[in-house]
Structure 1
Amino acid sequence: MTIFLRLLDETEKGEALSSASIAIRNGACPTCASIINPSEFNKIPGAPFAYWVSSAVRDSFEIFGTAAEEGLEARQGLATADDFRFVRLVWEIEPSRGIKWRFFSKGGAYSKFYGSIHLLVSWGNGQDQMLAILNPKSGKTKSNIWMLPDTIKSYFFRPGFTWSRRSAKGLSFRALPEDCIFSDKGPTVFLPHDDVSQTLSAMAVTNSSAYSFLVSLQIAAGSYEAGVILRTPIPKICEEDERRLAELSFQSWSLKRKLDETTETSLAFVLPFGLRSSLGEYHPPAMELTLNGLQANIDDITFDLYGFSEADRAAALGSPGSTNEDSMVTAQDPEDSEDDDGVDAIDQTDSLLSWTVGVAFGRFDLRLATGEREAPHEPDPFDPLPAKSPGMLPDGAAPFHDHSGILVDDQGHPHDLPRLIEEVLARVQADVPGNVRRWLQRDFFLLHLKQYSKSRRKAPIYWPLSTSSGSYTLWCYYPNLTSQTLYVAVNDFIEGPNGKLCLVRRELTALREKGSARSSEDEKRYEVLQTLELELIELRDTLLQIAPTYHPNHDDGVQITAAPLWQLFRHKPWQKILKDTWAKLEKGEYDWAHLAMAYWPTRVREKCKTDKSLAIAHDLEHLYAEAEPKGAKARGLKKDAE
């Protein structure tokens, strides 16, 4: 037998150790001491020194079958080896993408039962491109796609529940809908025959405090690998318990999804928080309390199934002294964690105004807030994800305001964005919160950039293209972007009989003709207009310089598509990202992009001759020529002596 002392909760550890040692020498057993036969540790896979848990907890690994033995299957999925090339945020790609882009589950922030999926992965010919990208040293495919045999790939598009392989916040399982691909960072559990009730029930058990506690005993490096999940014991569940757990699991999923209905970038989005109550009662604090109650019910059932004592339950629920000191989950490098997907809570006023911008551009459906359209029905947890969120304008529906993909910050203009925002607010009977124009000019893009950045991708869809001082701004809508957009910006907004430049010149002419009769106010206005005229000319010329070779393709994603316009953005951090991206495009680092082919076709076509992946990307496989294997060098013959 061996004596183990646990002093994690002691402030003065030296003094506590001395006192415990004296007590043991005197034949007493202090509360911090555990007397255990080391062979007990062999009950737990890996034989960790789990001396602080009861013998009953350790016995769980022998009494119950493993998750694998109970029919659960867990698989690790796709690693593209180049996410910047092959992965996009949902809003970067057209909703009518078909099978070319598929929903991609990639771990994500800590969240039990429900998690928003916001990524797409290039599938279609993307698979062939990944296979053709080779490691120059080994000659093997960089992506793990070559390691995924058909038996593994067959798990793609099946319903199950997934988790983050590395997480600083702990283990959490959430539903994975049908028609998704999962990544190596988001392994997934499957049940035989994809039975919904069994899957929901198993998700409840794995999200229980008891199961998480048993997993934590095996973790030494903060990585929740599929093997650990499969070898953790699962209790036998009768039909009645399965039904109860499945119902609790479904209710938890439903409430978590409902909480996500006010997140603008979510596929569950309906309305911003300030308007959500127009579709029925909506009280997040009450929903959170209900979720806590559901989790407590799940824990009670699973504790009984595992046969945990009150002391074991307290340990599993995180009472003092239950921490696994071998666990490094909370101390890992944040770069290894997938917990970066969460966005800071957005002010209610900002979320309302952001939604009004989306309504003005035709992204969101005003009718949900006015009662002209019924609230969408709730899907089931494993239903395929929609191409659009319920809050977005359905295909074929009339937008709030007809436009060509460009709105403008220009008082009095028929496409003036601040005026449209105020009109939307009036339609939903919401007060205009302060100076909307000032908010649009100073606050909105920073907020928008944060909202539309996830999984280390930044993908704003409302682009403010401005004069050098920011005195005149065209707001371009990325989903409507075409090769004609820049010409439209010049012809319809800057030049033309009603263009801003023409109007400025008319006013300048009128002031100039006043001559010495100009007042001091006239003089100030005259100077402002002269500066604005020069800035508008510069903006026009820059747009016309870019336009002839600018052929955007949404498959390239926001960052690359916006890169040629970097000098027209006034937000310095975003401008720097785009400038750096443009420099890399010029150097040929992103020659897989359609934009690279538009600007440097000769260079890209030449590369396609030797790079199969690029050839596939540009549908130029006929240019690719397989390199001949290098043969052995012929040995030279010695010349005969003369």
Structure 2
Amino acid sequence: MFNTGISKVSVGAGEIQHQIDTIAFNLYGINDKDRKAIEEAFCDRPAPINAPPTAPLSLTADLLSYTLGTIFGRWDVRYATGEREPPELPDPFAPLPACSPGMLQGEDGLPLDPHEIPPDYPLAVDPDGILVDDEGHPDDIIARIRDVLALIWGDRADAIEKEACEILGVKSLRDYFRKPSAGGFWDDHVKRYSKSRRKAPIYWLLQSAKKNYGIWIYYPRMDGDTLYKALRYAKDKLAMEERRLEDLRKEREQSGTGGAAVKKLEKEIDGQEAFISELHDFVEKLERAANLNLIPEHDDGVVLTIAPLRELVPWNEPKNYWDELIEGKYEWSSIGKQLAEKGLIKRS
């Protein structure tokens, strides 16, 4: 897949594919408007002008989405390492399998439970479906992605990461995963998993107000305990940062009355206080959602299940659907029934 010089190679391949597509569309008399509709229907995300799916930007986004999926146990990384041969293409008239080709699955052909991963599997799969944007944490999303890159590319992993960042136009992978707007992972992921009126991102970003802390949740593994587990991550982070602030204040008390070192320390204290305030806000919002004690029902769909997290997800849809839920619009849904039982539905 990726190697040094991929930009030039993939751009060339993309241009050739684009020319082939143009010839085919012209032969069938398909106009630009219809062409755009067709391309959007059959690509993972709406294709930007002159940026076919084989362009470096698309390939890089695909790669990072794949690495995250392997960490959560969605994809079988052994296909990427060469340990397993790619599955054969099924007969076009055969019934659709339960799992997409390349998914991590058991002998029964169903998705493999993370607690049933074979002991010789080359990658640690996250068991609770929760990762954090927290450098130094064992479940830090960037550290875990680097584990996947190292597994696939060995000592070339650093070069692959650097090239990926250059293609994406970001300073670091953390910037890419932390950025919720256009050009960041979350924005790409929402577009990738949205078709027509269906909006179903499976990797959820819960993010603090100033984007200095975040939690990623894998929706297919979400259950009634997930938000409480995520809350424990956030509370542990808050407690750790409060201890750090206390240490800084003690150091300040012992540092005299002036000088550059003291000013630097005071600035660090101010920044730490602001960060703790941000974390307090994050914890309060997550605790509100967790204390609703809602049991996720995947048949409700993503937009209804994510609605209680509207204060933390950098996406307008959760708030829109929450407002509609409270108005009683989705009374048929499991979450709608649970909210009604708790007396949270507005009655006209």
Which bracket does the TM-score occupy, shorter chain normalised? 0.7 to 0.9
Find out whether 1:363 has 2:74 as its counterpart. yes
Per the TM alignment, residue 563 of structure 1 is displaced from its structure 2 partner at its CA by: 0.8
Q: 1:271-316 deviations in whole A, cap 9, x for unaligned?
A: xx649xxxxxx9978x979x99xx9xxxxxxxxxxxxxxxxxxxx9
Find out whether 1:582 has 2:322 as its counterpart. yes
Letter in 2 for 1:468: A
Contact 1:468 1:535 survives alignment (8 Å): yes
Find out whether 1:505 has 2:242 as its counterpart. yes
Partner of 1:568: 312
Q: CA RMSD in A?
A: 3.3
Aligned counterparts, 1:278-427, within 5 A: 340-342=40-42, 343=45, 344=47, 345=53, 347-394=58-105, 395=112, 396-398=116-118, 400-427=124-151
**Cα distance in 2 for residues equivalent to 1:348 and 1:446:** 16
Aligned counterparts, 1:120-159, within 5 A: none
Match of 1:599 among 336, 339, 345: 339
Question: In terms of mean alpha carbon deviation, does 434-443 or 390-399 score higher?
Answer: 390-399
Contact 1:407 1:416 survives alignment (8 Å): yes
Q: 1:365-393 deviations in whole A, cap 9, x for unaligned?
A: 11111122222112111111112111211
**Cα distance in 2 for residues equivalent to 1:568 and 1:526:** 26
Letter in 2 for 1:595: I
**Cα distance in 1 for residues equivalent to 2:241 and 2:98:** 44
**Cα distance in 1 for residues equivalent to 2:34 and 2:176:** 37
Per the TM alignment, residue 584 of structure 1 is displaced from its structure 2 partner at its CA by: 0.6
Letter in 1 for 2:102: G
SS at match of 1:476: strand
Per the TM alignment, residue 338 of structure 1 is displaced from its structure 2 partner at its CA by: 7.7
Match of 2:298 among 534, 554, 561: 554
Partner of 2:6: none
Letter in 2 for 1:520: K
Partner of 2:285: 542
SS at match of 2:310: helix
**Structure 1 residues 602 and 284, CA gap change in structure 2 (3 angstroms):** same
Which structure has the larger Rg? Answer: 1
**Structure 1 residues 588 and 376, CA gap change in structure 2 (3 angstroms):** same
Per the TM alignment, residue 521 of structure 1 is displaced from its structure 2 partner at its CA by: 2.6
Per the TM alignment, residue 330 of structure 1 is displaced from its structure 2 partner at its CA by: 5.8
Letter in 2 for 1:460: P
Give unpaired runs (5+ residues) of structure 2.
4-9, 48-52, 106-111, 166-171, 256-260
Letter in 2 for 1:507: R
**Structure 1 residues 368 and 331, CA gap change in structure 2 (3 angstroms):** closer
Per the TM alignment, residue 447 of structure 1 is displaced from its structure 2 partner at its CA by: 0.9
**Cα distance in 1 for residues equivalent to 2:305 and 2:133:** 23
Match of 1:481 among 222, 230, 233: 222
Match of 1:452 among 193, 206, 212: 193
Per the TM alignment, residue 441 of structure 1 is displaced from its structure 2 partner at its CA by: 1.1
Q: 1:555-574 deviations in whole A, cap 9, x for unaligned?
A: 0111111111111013xxx2
Find out whether 1:519 has 2:262 as its counterpart. yes
**Cα distance in 2 for residues equivalent to 1:274 and 1:333:** 33
SS at match of 1:347: helix
Per the TM alignment, residue 507 of structure 1 is displaced from its structure 2 partner at its CA by: 0.6
Contact 1:467 1:535 survives alignment (8 Å): yes
Per the TM alignment, residue 522 of structure 1 is displaced from its structure 2 partner at its CA by: 1.9
SS at match of 1:569: coil
**Structure 1 residues 545 and 515, CA gap change in structure 2 (3 angstroms):** same
Partner of 2:208: 467
Give unpaired runs (5+ residues) of structure 1.
1-272, 276-281, 296-315, 324-328, 608-642
Q: Which has the higher helix share?
A: 2
Per the TM alignment, residue 581 of structure 1 is displaced from its structure 2 partner at its CA by: 0.8
**Structure 1 residues 370 and 333, CA gap change in structure 2 (3 angstroms):** closer
Aligned counterparts, 1:251-262, within 5 A: none
Letter in 1 for 2:133: D
**Structure 1 residues 513 and 347, CA gap change in structure 2 (3 angstroms):** same
The number of residue pairs the alignment matches comes to: 286
